[in-house]
Amino acid sequence: MAARLVRRCCWRHFGAFLAAPSAVPASLLVPAGKVAMARALPQAPFASFHTSSPSSWADGFSVKEQVEDSGNPEHKVIRELIETATSPQELFQLTKHHALNSNQASLIITQLSRLAALKNLETESILQDECFQEVLSIMDSQISQVWNNTLLNLLKSLYSLGVDSNRREMQSVEQEVLWRLRRLTFRQLASLAEFFAVKQVKESRLLNEVIKKLELRWTELEGTRTVVALMSKVGHISPALMDRLEDKALELAEQFSPDDIRKISLALAYQNRRCVPLLRALSYHLIQKHSELSLNVLLDLIFAYGKLNFHQPQVFQKIATDLHPHVSMMTPVEVTRCIRSFALLKWLNLPLFEAIAQYALDNTKQLSVTHLCSIILSFARLNFQPSGIEDFFNMVHELLQGQLDSLEPHLLTDLVWSLCVLQQAKAPYLQRVLAPDFHAEIRGDQSFRAQNLRLRLININAAARLESPSYQGPFLPAEMLSTMLPVGEKVTLLQSSLREALAGVLGRQDNGRFDVHTIYGWQIDAEMVVNSENKPLPLKDFAAPHLLYSEGTKPLPPGARRVAFLRWEFPNFSNRSKDLLGRYVMARRHIQAAGFLVVDVS
């Protein structure tokens, strides 16, 4: 280690000694007798890793570097031979005919990695070749003299070739990069961080140091490409850096292309970062500046907005309108991904959903059962009934025939529940999920997923009893009809306002019930019984068939009615669009079928 430091210091002092006071580059003032020293001067590397053409190796270098590189004819010839090599053998031949320096050896390793990636070569044979070991040795002997860009490409190449991280040469390169971090440009640091993130290099001291440098030097961040790349590839590693990147992205929002907006939105979605100011800015510029969007951009945007639950009606309308002409040419995966995102956002666009229903009818052979289930679940979430409802559900029943046993229990339950929402559940579906052997496995299971499955089965049981008069069973046993009370659920402002308003109407406390959990799986926010003159009556005196255990036994007097209050707390919907949510509309139907007058509260 000490010897290396001495060599580096000597090299720097010697370089300073050669420097002339004039503006002419020092390499042009070196006399002919110093050709031997000139051979040690580094060459210019790839401008970017495995993506740029070999002719652009000099990009990103200082004037001094480029002059020193082009000033030596022998170096130029060797560089051209490395650039034009098309096989590892050609590169290895250079070690036999030329006295290589560390920069040239580094360029050979980078070119080997590039050829291995482009031609899918077996890297193990390259690593075991004696010539490769010789190149590694030459590189390691003068590692401190390698130019920065060449050094970074060298490190990436060694990783790509699969060189053992415990090898001395590998550790030497990593240590050299670590020493030079302060001298690297922000773009070089970003490139290195992107590489490590894509390669999923874990527990790397070098990566941690690179991230720290990026966090400290974030003010040097320039250009949309670097911002987008760091957000999408590196942001998840450092929340502090991601905060800075979001600020910078907000500043540059007007300059982003549609594809940039797509990548940023996906990065936010995958990291669950709901940065509202940035999302609003991106949405605004997307609407104002970009008239035509590609299919990939449209699908990824609606997916990101759905995952973040970010509502922007103008963007949704544009995406739905632009997607409509593409539907017939989309794959089943793209169709289901699209419709699920709109369902999550609770956004119903009739032309688009009708086109998807027609797509399902026209492509029954391409649709798998899973794809069909996704479409039905999305339709049910928004309570969408296609205009050709009879043809559509005839196709659905035909495709599902004999396929129910192949579905995972939770997916099967969601499918039957969705068919109940759409009032299309036939006896075979109900019998399959209400059979004792189906729900026996979840009895006693207190997990959230099991409780959600149990609640949906109770809803299906209610649909079988209240909406399918010809259905003869089986039904759920009584012990399964008690719903689990949510733990620590907060009372909303609407609930508290409803209670205050009803307190004056009820008069006495026993004239009403609040937060009533029914045997149908639905919660009634408030319940009361009124006589023919609309005056409240004590609830405990009367039978309550909607409860698992009833206090009273008396039937309602002539002219009396049960009244149920259901709250509507969906901020993105108005009172006129309650029927858009399948869950709400099915709850309303069941409670009405149980003899209640339903009052919507919003």
Return the bridge partners of 561, or none: 530
Give the C-alpha distances (Å, rounded to integers) separating 421 from 75, 377, 427. 75, 10, 15
Q: What distances in angstroms separate CA 517 from CA 283, 513, 554, 564, 590, one per listed residue?
A: 41, 10, 21, 12, 13
If you write DSSP's letter for every residue of 312-370 in order, what string do you get?
-HHHHHHHHHHHGGGGGGS-HHHHHHHHHHHHHTT---HHHHHHHHHHHHHTTTT--HH
User: Can you tell me the mean pLDDT for 552-573?
Assistant: 83
- The rounded distance, in Å, linking the Cα atoms of 583 and 218 is 47
Q: Which helix (H) or strand (E) holds 149?
A: helix 148-161
The reported pLDDT for the residue numbered 571 is 62
More confident residue, 278 or 145: 278
Residue type, 116: A
| Whether residue 56 has pLDDT greater than 50 | no
Both structure tokens of 136: 């590694």
| Lowest mean pLDDT across 25-39, 194-208, 295-309, 397-411 | 25-39
pLDDT for the residue numbered 373: 95
- Whether the bond between 486 and the residue before it is cis, its omega within 30 degrees of 0, is no
- Classify residue 385 as left (phi > 0), alpha (psi -120 to 50) or beta: beta
d(CA 215, CA 352): 44
The predicted model scores a pTM of 0.79
Packing angle between helix 369-381 and helix 582-593, nearest 10 degrees?
70
**Structure confidence by residue, pLDDT tens digits, 468-524:** 988 998 999 888 887 655 545 677 788 888 888 888 788 788 888 888 889 999 989
Distance between CA atoms of residues 450 and 448, nearest Å = 5
Predicted confidence band of residue 6 (pLDDT cuts 50, 70, 90): very low
Does the pLDDT of residue 34 top 60, yes or no?
Answer: no
Comparing 229-238, 377-386, 474-483, 588-597, which segment has the lowest mean pLDDT?
Answer: 474-483
Using the structure block, give the residue that is written with the tokens 């929340």: 239
CB 530, CB 561: distance < 8 Å: yes
Task: Tell me the pLDDT band of 14, cut-offs 50, 70 and 90.
Answer: very low
pLDDT above 50 for 389: yes
Contact 42, 145 (CB under 8 A): yes
Determine the pLDDT at residue 97: 77
Asked if 177 and 147 count as a contact pair (C-beta separation under 8 A), the reply is no
Q: Is the confidence at residue 36, as pLDDT, over 60?
A: no
Radius of gyration of the chain (CA): 35
**pLDDT (tens digit per residue) in 233-278:** 999 999 999 999 999 999 999 999 999 999 999 999 999 999 999 9
- Environment class of 35 (CB within 10 Å of its CB; exposed 0-12, middle 13-18, buried 19+): exposed
What pLDDT is stored for residue 484 in this prediction?
Answer: 58
Across the range 310-317, mean pLDDT stands at 92
Q: What's the CA gap between 118 and 177, in Å, rounded? A: 26
In the predicted model, is pLDDT for residue 460 greater than 80?
Answer: yes
Q: Which two tokens stand for residue 451?
A: 């409780």
Least confident of 25-34, 362-371, 501-510, 538-547: 25-34
Residues contacting residue 71 through CB under 8 Å, at least 6 positions apart: 27, 28, 38
Task: State CA 108 to chain mean position distance.
Answer: 38
Q: What is the structure's pLDDT at 55?
A: 36
Of the chain, the percentage scoring pLDDT greater than 90 comes to: 46
The kind and range of the H/E element at 596 are: strand 596-601
**Residue 509 buriedness (CB in 10 A; 0-12 / 13-18 / 19+):** exposed
Taking residues 440-452, report their average pLDDT.
79
Distance separating alpha carbons of residues 280 and 312, to the nearest angstrom: 8
pLDDT at 572 over 70: no
The residue ranking higher by pLDDT, 369 or 122, is 369
Lowest mean pLDDT of 159-163, 319-323, 426-430, name the range. Answer: 159-163
Q: Is a pLDDT exceeding 60 seen at residue 418?
A: yes
Mean pLDDT over 110-128 rounds to 87
The residue-averaged pLDDT of 416-443 equals 91
Q: What is the mean pLDDT of residues 430-445?
A: 85
**pLDDT for 448:** 82
What is the pLDDT confidence band of residue 28, given thresholds at 50, 70 and 90?
very low
Are 205 and 233 in contact by the 8 Å Cβ rule? The answer is no
User: Which of 507 and 107 is assigned the larger pLDDT?
Assistant: 107
- pLDDT tens digits for range 318-346: 999 999 999 999 999 999 999 999 999 99
Which among 374, 414, 368, 372 has a CA at the least distance from the CA of 392? 372
Assign 69 a pLDDT band (cuts: 50, 70, 90): low
The pLDDT of residue 551 is: 79
**How is residue 545 annotated by DSSP?**
T
Model confidence at 52, in pLDDT bands (50, 70, 90)?
very low
Q: Is a pLDDT exceeding 80 seen at residue 37?
A: no
Return the closest-CA partner of residue 252 out of 230, 237, 272, 273: 230
| Contact between residue 540 and residue 551 where contact means Cβ atoms under 8 Å apart | yes
Q: Tell how far CA 193 is from the center of its chain.
A: 20
Res 244: pLDDT: 93
d(CA 529, CA 531): 7
Give the pLDDT band of residue 405 (cuts 50, 70, 90): confident
Q: Across 293-307, 431-445, 477-491, 567-581, which has the greatest mean pLDDT?
A: 293-307
Mean pLDDT, the chain, integer? 83
Residue 601 β-bridge partners: 567
Cβ–Cβ < 8 Å for 215, 238: yes
